[in-house]
Every structure is written in C-alpha cells, then in structure tokens.
Structure 1
C-alpha cells in the first residue's frame, strides 16, 4: 500500500528543455506488466477471494502511545471566586500548587481614585494587591486602564521596575504621555524613540521587550510587573507570535496584568499562564457596558432607521425584516459601476448625518473600510459646519502649533493645506494614508470635542480611547484582501464599542448601513455575536530558531512546547484519539476480495495517469499549442485537485511573470459551481458544478499548466462576450456539446499536433499498451467488478482517513512544528548558519541581528557583497523592498542601478527558495518572490538624495502616510543592518548603512510625535 500511495502521489518532473523531454523513469513498465499478467493468470485459475493484507497496509498499532499522549495534557485547576451579573472572577492554579485565597488589603492603597470603582475593577486591583497575576477582560472604554495604573503605582511604591507594553508605537506614545503626567518616573522605548531608559516605569512595544529578553537585558532583574495592554492582539496573524514569544521568555518571578477586550476563552489563557509561569493567574471578566448600546439599521432605498437591537439587548425581528424589505438581493457594485455606488452611499451618509445632528446625537465616528471612501464621504459634506467662531480659532491655533515643528516647505504640503478647511468646520479624517502628525493632531482635536464628525478606518478603533455618542458604519461588508465578506462580530464589537461616552451619554447609538440583503442569522451574528476567541498564532521563524540556539539553557523545542498553541492543542487530544480509534476499528473490520490483483490493476491506472501528464507537459509547450488558440476552441482544465471540464476559448495573452518567465494566459468560459464564483482569479479554488445541478458560467484566466486536453471542435461565440445574455448563450452551447458527445469530446492526438520527439512517441505507445491492458484486465469482465472496485476504493479511502486522523494527532503533539523545525534546521545547516553539531556559527550570529525583515535572504546578500559597493541611497532603496507591502497603481521608472539591484535581489530570493525546497522546507518560490515589492525604491532613493517630500509624494501614487510608515520601518531595518555589518566586522558596510540612515532621517518623515 505504501508503494501504491507513492505512485498515486508521483508528479512528472519539469521538462528539461524546450524541444525534448527526458525519458523519465516512472517505474519499470515491463516488470509491472509482467506482474499484471501473473495476476491475470491467478484470476483465471481461481475465483476464490483473497484478503488484501499486504497491499492495503493500516497504520502501525500505536494506540498505547496515543492514550499516554491523551492523558498527558497540562494539569491545572480553576476555582470560581465570584459570579455576579456584571463580574466573573476565576483563578487558574497549577495542580501541584495549593491555592492561597486573596487577602483583603490592610495597608493604604498604592493609588486612590476620584470615582467609585466598578466591581470588576475592585476584584482585579485586589489581585494586584496580593501580588498575583490577572487577566482583565472587558469591553472597550469599560475602565481597564485603572487596573494598569494601580499595578504601576504598586511597583513604584515597592521600588520595583514595571514594564508597560502596547502593540503599536502610536499607542505607546500616548501611554507614555499619560503615565508621565501621572507618575513622572517614566521612560519610552519604541525603536524610533528612546526617552529616559533608566526610568522605573518603561513603556515599550512588545518587539522591544522581546529583543531585551533574547539579549539578556539587566533591566529584567529589577522588573516586578509587566503589563500587556490589548493582549487580544496576540491573535494577529502576522505579529501575534511576538506576544507569545515574549510571554514565554519572561521569568517566572514576574507578575502580570493582561488587559483585553472581551474574549470567550479568557479562562484558557489564564490556565496557560499558570502552567507556563508556575503561578496563579486570575481572570476578571465583565461584559457589562457602563453605557448601553442601541443598534439600528439604515437600508438603502428606505428613508429611516430601524432599531434592530434595543438598549436592553433584544433582537427585534419585525424591525429587521422591515429594514430588509427595502434592500436589493445584490451588492451595489454588481448592479452598477463603483463610482455611482460610492456617490449613492455618500448621499445616504449625508442624510443620516443630518438626522444625527437634528437629534443631537453627536459626536459621531463614521467607519469605512477604505481610505479613499473616508475622504470621499468627508468631501460630500460641503454645506455642513459644526463650529462657531471661537472653536474655529482654537482649532487653527492647535493645528498651526502642531505643524510648526515642520520645515516651511513641508508646511505647504497639499495634504496639510487640504485638510484644514474640514477641521475648522468640525470634520475630521483618520486613516493610515494621512501624515502621522496630522493623525495625532486630529486625535487631539477629537479628544477635546472640537470635531463633531470623524471619518475613520477601523484602525481608529484599536487601542485609542476616543469614544463618541454615535458610531456609523458605511457598509456591513468589507474586502479582507481576498474576498468581500460580511464584517464579523469581533470587528463590529471593536468598532461599535466606541459609541457611548461614560458619564455623558445615557446610551450609545450604532448605525449599520446595509445595501445588500442579509439573513437574520447573519445579522444576529454581527450585532449579537461573541468576539473571536484568543487563538494562538504561534509559528516558527529563522530569527526565533537562531536566537534560541544562541541563548543558553533554551532551544526551539523549549519554545514550541510552551506555546499557547501547544497548550490549546493538548485540550483537543482526547476527542482526536476517539476519532482515530473509531477509524482504526472500522478499517480492521474491512475485508475485500482479490486484493493483490486490484492493487496491481490500480497501480497500472496510476502509471497511465502519470504517463498522460508527462506527455501533456510536452503538448502544452507554446510551439505545439499556440496554433490552436482560435476563439471557441474547447480546452479541458484540470487543477491540482479537480477536473473542471471543458471551457471555450475567448481570448489569450502572452506575458512575463515576476520570475522572468514567458507565460500564456487563456481566458476560458467555464461552467462552475455557484459556490466558488466569487473568486475566479485563483483557478485552484474553483469547483465544477455538481451533477444534475445548474451551473454558473464565468470567464476564467487559466495558465497552460492547467490544460489537460485540447479538443478538435470549436463552438460559436456571441459577437460580444460581455453582452448581457452572452454568458447564458455560451453555457447553453457548451452543455449541448457535452450532451452530443456524451461527455467524450473529441481530442487532438499529440501526433496530430506535430509532436515528433522520439521519446514522446515511445511514451504514447507505452500509454496505448497500458490502456489496452487496463481495458482487457480479467477483473473488469466479472459481473461484480464495480462492487469489488468500490470496496477497494472504500478501503483506500478509510486508510487515508486513518492517516489524516494520525496527522491531526501528530499536529497536537507538536509534530507539525517538529517537522517544520527539522526542515528549517536542514536549511540552516546547508547555508552554514549552524554547524553539524547544531551550534550557531558566525554567519548565524549575523542573522540574529535582523528581525525586521527576511533575515536569511538579507544575510545571504550581505555576505555575497551585494551592498559592498552600493551608494547609501541605493542601499536604502533596495532594503525598502523588504518593508513595503502595499499595491501601487503606478511606479516611477527605476534607473539602471536600481533595476540591477532589484534583479540581484530576485536572484538571491530564488536561490533561497530553491535550497529551502531541496531541504524539504516547502516554500512557494513565486509567492516568496512576489513579497519583494519595488514600489518604494524610487521614492527612497530620491528622498535619500535630497528630494522634497512634496516631490516624491506627487510622483509616487502612494499615500503620504504610507510613505512615512514605510520609511520608519525601513530605518528600523537599516539600524539592524548596521548591527549585522558590525557583527561580521565590516565597518565600511556599517558606514554605508549609517550614512543611509542619516539621509533617511530628516524633516517630516521623522517629525516628533505630538504626544512626546
């Protein structure tokens, strides 16, 4: 069976050259046919069934080991300490420790408050008073910061140092200002800025704290408390692993305060902390909102608001159905062009805002999921003014004070001049494309109540404490980088949580604009659903592996076994084992006749399929296939996993991909399942229509590698495939063709297409021989053959299910990461980052200095001398490819130096991908290379060569804020490149990067934060 599975999984090797395929060894055909002949003779001699035990091998019996694993889960106990309507208090304690109840404070409090504490605040502060760690899970604006302030006050009173970490630099700057005003002895460390690093209270980003832990900073010896603000960021796919690494590396004698939005698995997180750091960890949870929320829908087509969820939390079905009665089944951009849809939404926004103003429900935050939409909606408020003369003067004073830190030329930037007229009228805009200084100025104005309307993207809801009376969503759908989908409950809760100011508003108002019909189930999930659980995003990185090899007393396995993912997976082990056991018992009971003969027969079919693929790899070469690119020609499409059937050719184009290869793209009209038509760009995700069900017809771009056959027939196409009824006509024509030939559409033979290579012709003869023997196999002549083959297929399926069940258990046991770790270690040994004994080399120590970008690729480039002779502006420009992530509509032409540098970068990236795959570390070369974007190279070189910000922003097509954000990330990478150069003893290269940093760090790009 093992050999059988391998044969099924074989893939043809890439064709070596353009004219002739190598005679690939896919198995000794003569030996296989001889085996098959013997099987035929045996079948002729006897009809007695044979149990197939040798060929369909079940997994080894390791039930005892699996039971041990299932019982080896983390041992932790939890106790309920308080259960009230508005507060739940639990504590997680390692099973080997005795729980010591909390004592009531006998001494004066470390800090007092001018307001009455809520029950959840009192409970959490009591945990801090008892020097026990606590996770506080509560809604936005509920008052979690009060607990953090108490922990800081307690640490300072006890002459301990305390670290306050936040997920983003902007939030760190704000927290620094807040804590500085309260305590005075406060420092800031964000990478960009370091202020008073000897302070007793240090505010820093989590990345800085992680770096300190890896380097064994002396500061940690004096730390008594670490506060993690917005710990729910740990579920961030890209950066969540940083939180997890940091928490794992922190010493056990430190106590923790974790502040989080409401998360349903808060107790599980506390249990992990208790086991990880061998200490009690409390959970204080409240879903109480000091200011209740009212949720209303605004339907396009209706002229009114419908209360869908009352302030008491009741879902009103009648109001929801009434709102939906005015909404179309389709989204606006499916009915009309986007520009018109945007204008109609803008008109609706103006109507709603007028209503909000009349009902005195301001200030309002208007959330949109696009930066350009934010600006478009703001510009639609041409005749609205919310401020009197004195307020306008105050806004101008604050604004001009803010921009006064810029040089005279930067003060004249179009974005600065453009936004001021909106601000003086009480209208703000906040998104990542704005200059950081403008964003901070707008935050200050909004916090002071001088802006009555703020148009913002969802990032405004993360961390910043900026509540409003009303929140308006301009859409219930968002594009998440892959698909346009309904917003989920977690996103809605985060943004809607900004509605309602504690102590000012009796209730907050959330308005959701709906322009497409949704079911009541979807609506309830959005407005009444739970937040997303805090699930681990732990993953291995080369920087992590190398640092853990370098640091004494720890290793990569140490990190994996202590990760939150490993802890979460352990809880899943028992049900997974039950699933495995059931599959095992089912397979052990399964018997089929003629096992050996069936195995040989199916091996022959697998070999025939491999041979077809090998021949087809030659047939789809441009020299053979391009003469048949006539419109209407039928081509069969087969992805890696599915046969999509026949499609009609509409058009084709020749292009060059990012790897520099010439490729052909065929636009085919394909019949598809209705379920998959939302994303037709990725052919691998498409599915054929189910049998006897209606199909959708879509125009799909297909590469030649997905073509499995070319038909001799063509169908007639409408004159314009874009005409309203064209798709229906093409679908009907395709279905008639399938029916006419009963699905067996006539195909071109490779010889007919002019293939004359002798090796291919031999393969064609072998294939004919195989197909003849398959057709004449004695088992096929049996009346019960279909039943026998079905039984064989079922046992193969059960064996595969058992393998999958074991793989799931393997992942829970850490096998997924174990395999990946071994593969990464092979890559590191091959590239000499570690030696044969697993010890870090000098090259590995260089890579340890780089964490802001691809440490392996950058180290390879450093040591190959790529940067040695480069001028500082060119070096900075090349490094920008590692930190720029946005898509750009236009890119200024690159000079010869930059073009050459980028080609060198791509060459090194391909080399790293090739070696990775050779070491069995799967790395998609195309995706890996595509991550390197040259959209900022021209901008960075011009800036480092002395160009003005206005000049580079006008010619780049990139938002000003995006340019600055990229350059600040670039400066962080350059600092690490300086350290890497110094680690290898190359002072000349270090000087190049130091000069690049100096040229980069000037004027508006590195203007100081208004919070500092």
Structure 2
C-alpha cells in the first residue's frame, strides 16, 4: 500500500480477509518513501482509508481493490539553460521612446550545476519522480509491470525516446489494462492517448475519444485525422464519418449513446477520457461520472489528467466499478522548468520568487512586497472600468454589464503591463499569454498595447492571408462586424484576444495564428487554459485575485498551476517564465500556497437530475439507486469509514480500560451536582436581568466575575473572583440590513470592572486571564465585562471621592483595598438578598431557591461529599462521559457514511415525478416521462409541462423560438432586457408553469427557492432571438444588446440543439404540429455567422 510499511498495512485487515491488499514487489524501480513531502497520487487520507464504495445493491461486488506495484522512480533531467536576463530583479522597459529596458542589480538565478558554457548557458539538473501504482480486483492474476514483455510489433512507434511515465502507461495499454496518466501540461500525455487509439485500430476494435468541450473535440478530430485517417466526429452540431474506428465526441453525446443502448457501444474496446480532472466541474462534471458508471465492464480506459493528489483514489473507484485493473502513472515532470517572478504595481522590476528548482526565494518576495506603492508607475494593467462584461465601445463607456474598457490613463506614463510586455519582447521571451479574469479586462489590456507593432512585414502578410481565408466564407455583412474589423489591426501587430465573448470563428483564427507563431502576445481568460494545447514561452497574470461569483478571493494553487503550466514550450524553450502582477500586500504563506501549492483534488461533483432519474428508470435492471451507490461521491464518502472505525476502536478501548471505583455512587453524586449547577445558572440569569440588576450597578460596588474562556483555551471559564465596578454602559446593537420591520435587539449592558489579572497582562488585552490563586503579584486592570459575566453582587460598595484609574499605581492601590475587604469576611463577601434587597417576588424564582436548598442538603449528605478522592473520581467519570459521547458520534458518522448519499433527495424527486404524472407509483415511466427523456439541453420538467399544457400551441414559430432562448442563455446581466408585447404573454405563461413546478417540489420536501428557480430562465435574448428569426442580420441584433457576440452565438447554438431534442420529443408522442413548428424554428435560426463551420473541420 502506498506510503505504508507492510506491517502497517496488515494491521488494517484481518489475516483471514481474502480482500486484504497485497504488496507486489518490483525490481525495476527504486522504492521511495512517499511521506517526503511530495504530493503523489494518493494523499495520507487515501493511503489510510482504502474502502469499498457503498455498493449496497450487490453485496458480492463489495470489496477493497488490491494496491500493487507501489513504486517510485527517481529521474534526473539535465537542461542546458541560458540566463533569462531577468536576474533576481530585472527592470521593466523604460517609458515609450527609450531604446532599451533598464537593468537593475541582481545575480542570475542560482543553479546546482555550475558548468557554465562559453555561450552563457548553464547545465541545470532537475530531479523528478515517476510513480506507478495499480488497483487490482482481489484474486486478479497480476504480473508486475517490470516483468512486462513488449510485443514484437507495437501498435505505434515514435521517432524519439519515450519518457519513463509514457513507457509505463503504454505497457499498461499493451496488457489490456486501464490507466490514468496524471501529469502537467505539455508533459506528453497525448502520446499515451495516441497509443490507445493505435492499439484499438490495429485490433480492428473501436475506440472513443471524449473531451469536455466542442472546440477541443473539433481540434482533436483534426489532429487525429491527420495521424490515423479512420476518425469520425460527433458533437451534436456536426457528425462526420460516424462509422469510423475512432470516434471523437463530447461526453454528453457519449452519455446519450449509453442511455439509448447504441450499437456503437458494443464494438468499443477502449475509451480515452481527455482532461478527466474536468469531472469536478459543478455543472457538467456529473455527465462524466454517469458515463464512467454506465460504460460496460469489458471496455478499458485511458484517462488523461492534470496532476491530482488523489489519483489513486480515482483508480480504486474505477477498479471497483468495472472489476478490472487500473494503473496510475503520476509524474511531476515539467519538460520545461519554470521560473516564477513577481511584479509589484508601481515597482521598478520583477523579482524571482520561485526558481526553476521550485525553491521559494523569501528575500526576493519581501523586496517585491516592500515596493508596493513606492513607485510612480501606472496601475493601468486592468484598463478602464467600463462595466462588468458587456461589449461597450472600447473606451470604458459600455452600457449595462459594461463596456470593454480601455487603458487607464489616469497616471502619466506607460502602464505596468505595457512596460512588462516591452521588456519581454526586448528579451525575446515571446510568445506570451496574459491571463485576466474578465472579458472586459482582457480587451482593455489589449488596447493598452494597441500602439505596439510586434510583427515583421512577412508575418503581417501571413496574418492577412489566414484571416481573409477564414472570414471569406462569411457574408459581406458579417465580414463588416465591428468585432471582426477591430480585431484584424491588432492581429496584424501580433496581438490577440481569446475569451468566450468572441465570435467562434475569430477564436479559431486566433488559435491558428498563435500556433503558427504569428501572435506574440495573447490576452486570454481562464478558459484558454482548459484543454487547448497552446503553450507559450511566458505567462503573465494581471491579478492575484479573482471574483468567483460570491467573493473576490486569492487565486487558488490549483488554478495557478493550470494556467502557469502554459509557460514553456517543450523542445523550444530552455525555461518558462511566469510573471505575477501584484497590487496589494500578501503574506508569504499566501504566496507559497499559490506559487508552490498542490493541485486541487479530484472531488466528485455528482448531483441528481430528473433526466438522469427518468433515463435510468427506462433501462431494465438499472435503477437510480444503482448510479448513486456506484458514484464517485459515494466512494469518496465510504473512504472515510476505515479511519472512523479506527477512531471508534480507540475510543471503545479507552472506555473499556477506564475503571471507576463505586461508579454508581459517583454517577449519583455527579447528577446531583449537574442539577445544582443548572439551577444556580437559572438563578444567576434572573439576578442579572437588567430589571433587577441595574439599580445596584454603581461605581465602587464589589462584583464577582466569572466569564467564558475563548474556545481554544483548555479552561471552560475564567473565574476572576471579586473585583470593583467602576462604571457601566448600554451598548445598542446595530440593526442588520435595511429591514425596518425587524424587532430591534435589546441593549447590551457592559460593566467596567477592576480585576486582578495574570502577571504580564497588558491594558486593553482582548482576553485577559485571571491571576492564579498562588500568585501574589498580578496586574490590576479595568476589564469590560458583560452583565451575564456577573456571578454575584455584593452588599458592599466602596465610596470613592475621585476615580482615576488610568495610572498603574492608582489601580494597584484600589486593588489592594478590595483584597483587604475580602479578608474581613472569612466566610465570604456578603451578597445582596434577592428578596429583601433586589425585591424579586416571583413565585417561580422562590421555587428555584427552594429546589437549590433541597439539592444542597442532598449533596452535603452524600457519602462521597467528604471523600478525599472525590475530585479524581468525578474527573474520571467526566472522562468516561466524554469517551461515551465520542463513541456515539463515531457510530453515528459511520452509519451516516455507509448510507447512500443523496438518497433522501432521490425520494423527493421521485415524489415530484409521481405528482406531476411522469411516473406511476411503481416507478413505471408514463408518456410525460418518455418526452422528458428526450430533453437534456434545457429544463426537462418545465419544457415537458409546457408541451402538455399547450403553451406552444398558439404561439408562432418566432415566438416559440424566442421563448426557448430563456432555457439556453445563462449569463448574469444587469441591464433590463427589452421585451416586445408579443413576447410578454408567452414569458408570463412559462413563469407560471415554473412556479407550479417549484410549489410541487416544495410540497414534496425538495429544497428549492421558488423565485430563484423562476429567475434562472433569463429573457435577456428573447427580443434578439425574435429579430433573428424574422431575418435580421447579425450586425443588427448585436446593436440590440450589450451581450458579447460570442455569447449570443453560443446561446443560439444551444438553442438549435434544444430544438432538435424537442423535435424528437414531439415526434415521440405523435404531435406533428409541434414537431413541424420546432423543425421550422431550426431552419429559421440556422444561418450565416451564427452557424459558420469550424475551421478545424
């Protein structure tokens, strides 16, 4: 087992357990101790918690995968590295007009190897680990990978020497065993995918290559077509050569084929899941999980992923799911080492924070932080503030959700970003990708560089040819779109932009130009780092914070790894450069977690959908519980069970060993004391009520203080004993929000009290501690105490003529007087009588006092009350109570973990389906259920309800299509959409149907916010879609809204996919009128630039 000695492993399992993990020794690799700080494929929690996945449907399937071939190989790479020229802190370019960037003092980055060549290069030796494990079904006849014999004629050969991790992964494929390859961007994972394809095609078997997004599928289709020829594409929009041996498709298409029992699935031998870490995506990750569960057991997998710390846990899940081996090949190898620099806003240079050996340079980090705000440079890296994502006019004057923004010219001189790009170009460290976290910011940053010319005349000609060829297929009107006309001048200067708001054809043109080396600077959003294989020499981050929809937070380590991984091109660059622009102070720990942080774990994003439930109910022998029990989220939950069982065993063992003499008597005494404590607390609450306490809160009165200790302190409370009150104040809580109808909170009473505090306590300490009884010298301080902290009001009040306690000596003198008073009353300082003095005449209060007297009599008469061992006996009994509580909680957690996750939600959703008529009480699919099964591109319940309640019957085709746009546009906007009269009524009908579904859901005990559910169907593009259906040009509809052109096209393409599904839904119930209406809607929207073909096809 990874990360444990053999003895440690077998302690977790019974000797007779047939499913106990077996360590299979190997000889080709050097076994490494995985606890040396390296974030390998399985973290400590996974190493200690190998568990079955809650597979309750078939007990015979419940087993723990065997972990074998747990080895690590130390690999050393020698790089011939030329000094970057940046040094420890190289300056940015000088203002416009200067001939060269200025240099600051600073030695080149240190290297372990000092063999410098005459050409200024250094031989840098960097070590990395290739780690291999395999999860095996119990009893599997496994042969160690080190003993693998390669075939005489491999399915594919390469003109270069394979890296160790590539060889290991390919050996797994040759053995017909699944494999997960976890490696950094550009490490060479594609080699493994290509071998899996070649392996299948050589054996005349089908292979499916699935990717998370259509753009990546299109790009991958083109690459594989050139390599293998026998390749097809299925994305929903496009179907090419569906009978090919290798099919490239989106995961949604693959899932649909599995649900419908496609013949293609029977012929598939291998499935390649590219970018498998995308499975943690909240919205679409569940599609990946469904697909992996539904794939037949005979199919093998090649999973390609970025580095994930819990890779082995994922492999164990696959092994358990499909009863087949799953190898994990994990490497932290970067073909090109990275250097990470910081550029402080307004500073005079960049500072090496993490070198190519991944060493954090804290001295350089502190230098960078100290320069924040010290320079005169502009902070114009982010452009103008034209809003939050709309198109605007490029000068920061966009409407609604905002313009593109422009350069920030509020400060004289060039912006920081301008200076950085000038420096990068002068050092020949292009191409560079500049990451920003909004579309507006992306375009604003590009405008900052609009005066720079970075290309040669020959390169400009090539840009012109590629661009004109690409847009030649468009209509003349579409070629005149502002986005196309404005972008070409930037592209000719070697500057590109890439974000989801661009026209799809422009994004592809930019990708092609970047791949051809014709773009020197590319401004991109985070989505560019997903999937597309387009590395650069340098990566720049314009911000260290991003808005995640809820808050502006620091960039996460996993996010930084994914984007910074684009720096450094294999075989072209000796090192990659990453520059992080910072404009606020950050702690070293924050910087380390970002720059040197570990990748995000692959956690399940599984969630139930009605489409999933209905489709599963249609499949014979499979139920929704089947998916739940086999989900990765269930497997991860059950992975905690061994750890919980160990905790339970520890607590139970300690409980058994704890022997308490005369336990029955101790329990009786303890219970009496607990009751007495509770009654005393109740009396104290009454005495401290302002109605009774306020008349006696005067300066000089002696009060006894007992307050709660902070949560992180071992003591439950601080007992200060007697002190002297100096004054009190009423604190009125601030009203939260703007709710004028809310009841105002009662004022809080705060008493300033002179107390004897522990030695060394400073004035104004937040949590002062009382002076221990055995310590004479402490600090007398005035401490603000809540009225609730008063444990007794004395009859004694000191008369003070002048009260000035600001000085140390004055407080000490008064403190000594308090102590003298206490000495005069050896039997205790006299208290105010609740009835005689405080005039509390309530009958309930008198009953409490009587009950206290009875309990005190009972306590004093108890045989243990005078026992010299009483304290230790009570302490032991309290320990037993705590242990009993921990045992009970551990059992509850185990029971909770063993139960199927989301089972209660499934019951609620089934109740909704029955009440709306989609299924019978016996879970048999009704006609409405069959219709809903056809829909996955929109809300299946609402659309089905609208079909059956006739919502579309009286609508024209244009009205129908514009109404359906509410289901395919999901971006947040602030502008109120325009709504023509003929669209207002259909929208209201749809919202009424949505309200009915929400109410039925709430009645079925499903958690749903009615207003939020209705608002999720956004009408922002209804007017635009209506005009498009009526034949308007794209340039015309773009003027009707501030939404980016690319977002409009993406919504339209999703709308076409939804209409296709609705055609099938109407056909399934024989509704020809609706079928024709939806089909005509497709014909109306499917034209011009909105559905222009991909340049990759």
- TM-score interval w.r.t. the shorter chain? 0.7 to 0.9
- The structure 1 residue matched to 2:136, chosen from 86, 93, 106, is 93
In structure 2, what is the Cα distance between the partners aligned to 1:948 and 1:997? 17
2:423 matched to 1:423? Answer: no
2:536 matched to 1:468? Answer: yes
- The structure 2 residue matched to 1:171, chosen from 216, 233, 251, is 216
Which residue in 1 is equivalent to 2:999?
Answer: 914
In structure 2, what is the Cα distance between the partners aligned to 1:216 and 1:951? 44
**2:733–2:745 Cα contact (<8 Å) kept:** no
In structure 1, what is the Cα distance between the partners aligned to 2:986 and 2:886? 49
1:106, distance to aligned residue in structure 2 (A): 2.8
**1:916–1:923 Cα contact (<8 Å) kept:** yes
In structure 2, what is the Cα distance between the partners aligned to 1:710 and 1:300? 45
In structure 1, what is the Cα distance between the partners aligned to 2:479 and 2:842? 81
Q: TM-score of the superposition, structure 2-length normalised?
A: 0.68
Over 3 Å counting, the alpha-carbon distance change for 1:248 and 1:740 in structure 2 is: closer
Over 3 Å counting, the alpha-carbon distance change for 1:472 and 1:996 in structure 2 is: same
2:262 matched to 1:273? Answer: no
Task: Give the stretch that moved more between structures: 316-325 or 893-902.
Answer: 893-902
1:854, distance to aligned residue in structure 2 (A): 1.5
In structure 1, what is the Cα distance between the partners aligned to 2:561 and 2:843? 64
Over 3 Å counting, the alpha-carbon distance change for 1:355 and 1:561 in structure 2 is: same
In structure 2, what is the Cα distance between the partners aligned to 1:784 and 1:975? 81
Over 3 Å counting, the alpha-carbon distance change for 1:899 and 1:131 in structure 2 is: same
2:1011 matched to 1:926? Answer: yes
1:1002, distance to aligned residue in structure 2 (A): 0.9
Task: Give the stretch that moved more between structures: 882-891 or 187-196.
Answer: 882-891
Over 3 Å counting, the alpha-carbon distance change for 1:557 and 1:358 in structure 2 is: same
Which residue in 1 is equivalent to 2:602?
Answer: 534
2:953 matched to 1:868? Answer: yes
Over 3 Å counting, the alpha-carbon distance change for 1:848 and 1:797 in structure 2 is: farther
Which residue in 2 is equivalent to 1:29?
Answer: none
- The structure 2 residue matched to 1:408, chosen from 458, 476, 491, is 476
Which residue in 2 is equivalent to 1:123?
Answer: 168
Task: Give the stretch that moved more between structures: 811-820 or 303-312.
Answer: 811-820
Write the mapping of 1:948-963 to structure 2, written as runs, cut at 5 A. Answer: 948-963=1033-1048
1:71, distance to aligned residue in structure 2 (A): 14
In structure 1, what is the Cα distance between the partners aligned to 2:1073 and 2:943? 17
In structure 2, what is the Cα distance between the partners aligned to 1:111 and 1:133? 18
- The structure 2 residue matched to 1:76, chosen from 61, 65, 72, is 65
**1:606-650: per-residue Cα shift (whole Å, max 9, x none)?**
xxxxxxxxxxxxxxxxxxxxxxxxxxxxxxxxxxxxxxxxxxxxx
Which residue in 2 is equivalent to 1:1011?
Answer: 1096
Over 3 Å counting, the alpha-carbon distance change for 1:567 and 1:874 in structure 2 is: same
- The structure 2 residue matched to 1:233, chosen from 266, 278, 291, is 278
Report the 3-state secondary structure (helix = DSSP H, G, I; strand = E; otherwise coil) of the residue aligned with 1:116.
coil
Which residue in 2 is equivalent to 1:556?
Answer: 624
Over 3 Å counting, the alpha-carbon distance change for 1:938 and 1:776 in structure 2 is: farther
Write the mapping of 1:383-462 to structure 2, written as runs, cut at 5 A. Answer: 383-462=451-530
Which residue in 2 is equivalent to 1:752?
Answer: none
2:549 matched to 1:488? Answer: no
1:890, distance to aligned residue in structure 2 (A): 2.3
In structure 2, what is the Cα distance between the partners aligned to 1:421 and 1:857? 46
**1:163–1:227 Cα contact (<8 Å) kept:** yes
**1:182-216: per-residue Cα shift (whole Å, max 9, x none)?**
11111100011111111111000000000000000
**1:363–1:453 Cα contact (<8 Å) kept:** yes
1:891, distance to aligned residue in structure 2 (A): 3.7
Over 3 Å counting, the alpha-carbon distance change for 1:580 and 1:482 in structure 2 is: farther
**1:134–1:282 Cα contact (<8 Å) kept:** yes
Structure 1 unmatched ranges of 5 or more = 1-65, 604-691, 714-738, 744-770
**1:640-672: per-residue Cα shift (whole Å, max 9, x none)?**
xxxxxxxxxxxxxxxxxxxxxxxxxxxxxxxxx
In structure 1, what is the Cα distance between the partners aligned to 2:1075 and 2:313? 46
Which residue in 2 is equivalent to 1:511?
Answer: 579
In structure 1, what is the Cα distance between the partners aligned to 2:383 and 2:199? 61
Over 3 Å counting, the alpha-carbon distance change for 1:469 and 1:344 in structure 2 is: farther
Over 3 Å counting, the alpha-carbon distance change for 1:84 and 1:579 in structure 2 is: closer
In structure 2, what is the Cα distance between the partners aligned to 1:484 and 1:234? 24
2:986 matched to 1:901? Answer: yes
1:776, distance to aligned residue in structure 2 (A): 7.0
In structure 1, what is the Cα distance between the partners aligned to 2:354 and 2:923? 60
Over 3 Å counting, the alpha-carbon distance change for 1:442 and 1:782 in structure 2 is: same
In structure 2, what is the Cα distance between the partners aligned to 1:809 and 1:272? 20
Report the 3-state secondary structure (helix = DSSP H, G, I; strand = E; otherwise coil) of the residue aligned with 1:284.
strand
2:709 matched to 1:709? Answer: no
Over 3 Å counting, the alpha-carbon distance change for 1:697 and 1:96 in structure 2 is: farther
2:246 matched to 1:246? Answer: no
Write the mapping of 1:435-834 to structure 2, written as runs, cut at 5 A. Answer: 435-577=503-645, 592-593=671-672, 701-703=737-739, 707-709=742-744, 778=848, 782=852, 808-834=893-919
Report the 3-state secondary structure (helix = DSSP H, G, I; strand = E; otherwise coil) of the residue aligned with 1:126.
helix
**1:789-828: per-residue Cα shift (whole Å, max 9, x none)?**
xx9xx99999999997666445422444111111111111
Which residue in 1 is equivalent to 2:225?
Answer: 180
1:100, distance to aligned residue in structure 2 (A): 3.2
Over 3 Å counting, the alpha-carbon distance change for 1:167 and 1:72 in structure 2 is: closer
Over 3 Å counting, the alpha-carbon distance change for 1:224 and 1:815 in structure 2 is: closer
Over 3 Å counting, the alpha-carbon distance change for 1:916 and 1:699 in structure 2 is: same
Which residue in 1 is equivalent to 2:931?
Answer: 846
Which residue in 2 is equivalent to 1:324?
Answer: 369
Root-mean-square deviation over aligned CA pairs: 4.1
In structure 1, what is the Cα distance between the partners aligned to 2:138 and 2:409? 61
2:201 matched to 1:156? Answer: yes
Report the 3-state secondary structure (helix = DSSP H, G, I; strand = E; otherwise coil) of the residue aligned with 1:708.
coil
Over 3 Å counting, the alpha-carbon distance change for 1:183 and 1:865 in structure 2 is: same
Over 3 Å counting, the alpha-carbon distance change for 1:602 and 1:274 in structure 2 is: farther
In structure 1, what is the Cα distance between the partners aligned to 2:180 and 2:73? 17
Which residue in 2 is equivalent to 1:17?
Answer: none
In structure 1, what is the Cα distance between the partners aligned to 2:350 and 2:732? 36
In structure 2, what is the Cα distance between the partners aligned to 1:696 and 1:281? 63
**1:561–1:814 Cα contact (<8 Å) kept:** no
**1:750-784: per-residue Cα shift (whole Å, max 9, x none)?**
xxxxxxxxxxxxxxxxxxxxx98876763797489
**2:178–2:300 Cα contact (<8 Å) kept:** yes
Q: TM-score of the superposition, structure 1-length normalised?
A: 0.74
The structure whose RCO (Cα within 8 Å, separation 6+) is larger is 1
2:423 matched to 1:355? Answer: yes
Over 3 Å counting, the alpha-carbon distance change for 1:710 and 1:117 in structure 2 is: closer
Over 3 Å counting, the alpha-carbon distance change for 1:838 and 1:580 in structure 2 is: farther
Over 3 Å counting, the alpha-carbon distance change for 1:711 and 1:465 in structure 2 is: same
Task: Give the stretch that moved more between structures: 944-953 or 137-146.
Answer: 944-953
**1:682-740: per-residue Cα shift (whole Å, max 9, x none)?**
xxxxxxxxxx9xx99999644467x2338899xxxxxxxxxxxxxxxxxxxxxxxxx99
1:569, distance to aligned residue in structure 2 (A): 1.2
1:318, distance to aligned residue in structure 2 (A): 0.5
The structure carrying a bigger helix percent of its residues is 1
Question: Paired residues, what number?
Answer: 806
1:327, distance to aligned residue in structure 2 (A): 2.5
In structure 2, what is the Cα distance between the partners aligned to 1:218 and 1:368? 45
Report the 3-state secondary structure (helix = DSSP H, G, I; strand = E; otherwise coil) of the residue aligned with 1:296.
strand
Which residue in 2 is equivalent to 1:885?
Answer: 970
Over 3 Å counting, the alpha-carbon distance change for 1:574 and 1:956 in structure 2 is: same
Which residue in 1 is equivalent to 2:25?
Answer: none
Which residue in 2 is equivalent to 1:111?
Answer: 156
In structure 1, what is the Cα distance between the partners aligned to 2:221 and 2:469? 21
Over 3 Å counting, the alpha-carbon distance change for 1:586 and 1:81 in structure 2 is: closer
Higher-Rg member (1/2) = 2
Over 3 Å counting, the alpha-carbon distance change for 1:979 and 1:352 in structure 2 is: same
Report the 3-state secondary structure (helix = DSSP H, G, I; strand = E; otherwise coil) of the residue aligned with 1:956.
coil
